[in-house]
Amino acid sequence: MIVSKRAAGIQESLTLAITAKAKKLNDEGVSVVSFGAGEPDCNTPDYIVDAAKRALDKGYTKYTPSSGIQGLRQAICDKLKRDNGLTYEPKQVIVSNGAKHSLYNAMLAIVNPGDQVILPAPYWLTYPELVMLCGGIPKYVKTKESDGFKMTAEQLKKAIGPKTKALILNSPSNPTGAVYSKNELCALAKVIEETGIYVIADEIYEKLIYKGSHYSIAQYSQKLYDQTILVNGMSKSYSMTGWRVGYLAAPANVAKAIDGVQSHTTSNPNSIAQYAALAALKEEAEEKAFVGKMAAVFDTRRKYMIARLKKMKAVSYYEPDGAFYVMVKVKKIFGKSAGGKLMMSAQNVAEQLLDVAHVAAVPGEAFGAPEYLRLSYCMSDKDIAEGLDRIEAFLKETK
Ligand code: PLP
């Protein structure tokens, strides 16, 4: 059977390739330390799990409205008001199977074949694939580490052409951990207003900020609000990656179009997970306690990672202000060898790091950052220390 051009065009994920190799080594009895994870390493908190159990006991096991139960959509509106100062009505909110699904829905709703979508690089690796699945064309804008990996208003202005439909903005960012300040976002917003393009604002790491604070670009003005599809979800803030609940908030006509798409593709997200998400957002005291504690743990690990990386002269790093990743620049070791193999790219470095030191990291080629490795700190302090010891030894042995 011949697969469609659309399906054949999907890039094999470099992340999955490294993860598969790491798993194979583990299965062979080798202890691999993985810096590859993209999810919190703690359990979903009890107050959320208990709400799911209650929903099961009450028999909430049937179809719900395809865009989510009214209570959850209202709770999301309340959250957007409380945290972001944004006013939405439930009919503007669509709950989906994870933020990834929300992003896909958002693009399906606004991207026509041939439209360009601006992606500041480094970018989360799923964005280009989703753009292309919708027939769009990713337009990459390379950001500089010296600009904190943030796109400037000048860069944005220059990138916008007659075919530009939208910008995908991710703050805090995966993979860099960069957090745009309010001033930086306002400068971008001005260009967006002037040019009339749309913004898909992916705010999924909103609660994991260690320096600075979060600002939603839709807050800038009524015009910007009308040009924005805001995406967020439960995965990272509440350690709920497996539950698959994400959402978007958009102008009512866009939400209506997305409701139509979702009703014919997936229907509603899992009913029990929706009740869990409702508790996650509504039980504010529990929420604050959990998120505060988790963010503090990540911040301690972040500081430890930075302190250790600072001592490794063969590499440099970008100090992240949010999310749970550190970008480590490995360009200086291109042209050197480890385990008898020459390393000419981040992918080669990741392969040798895994083969020789049994450490898994994601090569930056996956994110449009070919001189870097992405290290996540979603693992125990002990594993982080062990992994960094191994990286240090590996770097000493490269020649
Ligand atoms: N957006 C970004 C930047 C992410 O890193 C992720 C997950 O890694 C997602 C969206 C999707 O999250 P989920 O589909 O689990 O809600």
Does position 15 have pLDDT exceeding 80, yes or no? Answer: no
Where do the CATH 3.40.640.10 domains begin and end in the chain?
A: 59-283
If pLDDT is split at 50, 70 and 90, which confidence band does 9 have? confident
Per CATH, the number for 59-283 is 3.40.640.10
Where do the CATH 3.90.1150.10 domains begin and end in the chain?
A: 5-43+287-394
Does position 19 have pLDDT exceeding 90, yes or no? Answer: no
Whether 248 is in the pocket of ligand 1, judged by its Cβ within 6 Å, is no
Nearest CA to ligand 1 atom 12: 99
DSSP state of 243: G
Is 252 in contact with 92 (CB distance < 8 Å)?
yes
Phi and psi (nearest 5°) for 95?
Answer: -95, 135
What share of the chain in percent tops pLDDT 70?
100
pLDDT digits 0-9 by tens, 310-357: 999 999 999 999 999 999 999 999 999 999 999 999 999 999 999 999
* 51 vs 399, higher pLDDT: 51
CA distances from 289 to 81, 232, 286 (A): 20, 20, 5
**What spacing in Å lies between the alpha carbon of 184 and ligand 1's midpoint?**
23
**What spacing in Å lies between the alpha carbon of 245 and ligand 1's midpoint?**
10
pLDDT digits 0-9 by tens, 231-270: 999 999 999 999 999 999 999 999 999 999 999 999 999 9
Whether 36 is in the pocket of ligand 1, judged by its Cβ within 6 Å, is no
Task: Give all strands of the β-sheet with 372-376 in edge-to-edge order.
Answer: 316-318, 325-329, 372-376, 362-363
The per-residue pLDDT for 38 is 86
Concatenating the DSSP letter of every residue in 62-98 gives S---TT--HHHHHHHHHHHHHHH-----GGGEEEESS
pLDDT digits 0-9 by tens, 262-318: 999 999 999 999 999 999 999 999 999 999 999 999 999 999 999 999 999 999 999
**What spacing in Å lies between the alpha carbon of 246 and ligand 1's midpoint?**
9
* Most informative mutation of 174, 234, 239 for ligand 1 (most atoms within 8 A of CB): 174
Residue 221 class from Cβ within 10 Å (0-12 exposed, 13-18 middle, 19+ buried)?
middle
Is 138 in contact with 166 (CB distance < 8 Å)?
no
Q: Give exposure, 165-190, as e/b (b: 16+ Cβ within 10 Å).
A: bbbbbbbbbbbbbbbbebebbbbbbb
Whether 138 is in the pocket of ligand 1, judged by its Cβ within 6 Å, is no
Distance CA 295, CA 145 (A): 24
* E strand or H helix at 129: helix 126-133
- The atom number, within ligand 1, closest to the CA of 124 reads 3
- The atom number, within ligand 1, closest to the CA of 246 reads 16
Task: Give all strands of the β-sheet with 164-170 in edge-to-edge order.
Answer: 93-96, 246-249, 228-233, 198-202, 164-170, 116-121, 137-142
Whether 241 is in the pocket of ligand 1, judged by its Cβ within 6 Å, is yes
pTM (predicted TM-score): 0.96
* CA–CA–CA angle 169, 215, 189 (5° rounding): 55
Identify the weakest region by mean pLDDT among 26-40, 158-172, 218-232, 270-284. 26-40
Q: Does 3.90.1150.10 match the CATH number of domain 5-43+287-394? A: yes
Does position 16 have pLDDT exceeding 80, yes or no? Answer: no
Whether 125 is in the pocket of ligand 1, judged by its Cβ within 6 Å, is no
Whether 206 is in the pocket of ligand 1, judged by its Cβ within 6 Å, is no
Whether 246 is in the pocket of ligand 1, judged by its Cβ within 6 Å, is yes
Is 357 in contact with 394 (CB distance < 8 Å)?
yes
Does position 23 have pLDDT exceeding 90, yes or no? Answer: no
**What spacing in Å lies between the alpha carbon of 98 and ligand 1's midpoint?**
7
The per-residue pLDDT for 155 is 98
Distance CA 264, CA 181 (A): 39
Tally: H helices and E strands in the chain: 14, 15
| Nearest CA-CA partner of 10 in 119, 118, 104, 141 | 104
Whether 245 is in the pocket of ligand 1, judged by its Cβ within 6 Å, is no
**What spacing in Å lies between the alpha carbon of 204 and ligand 1's midpoint?**
7
CA distances from 196 to 37, 193, 226, 307 (A): 37, 5, 10, 43
Question: What is the chain's length?
Answer: 399
Whether 100 is in the pocket of ligand 1, judged by its Cβ within 6 Å, is yes
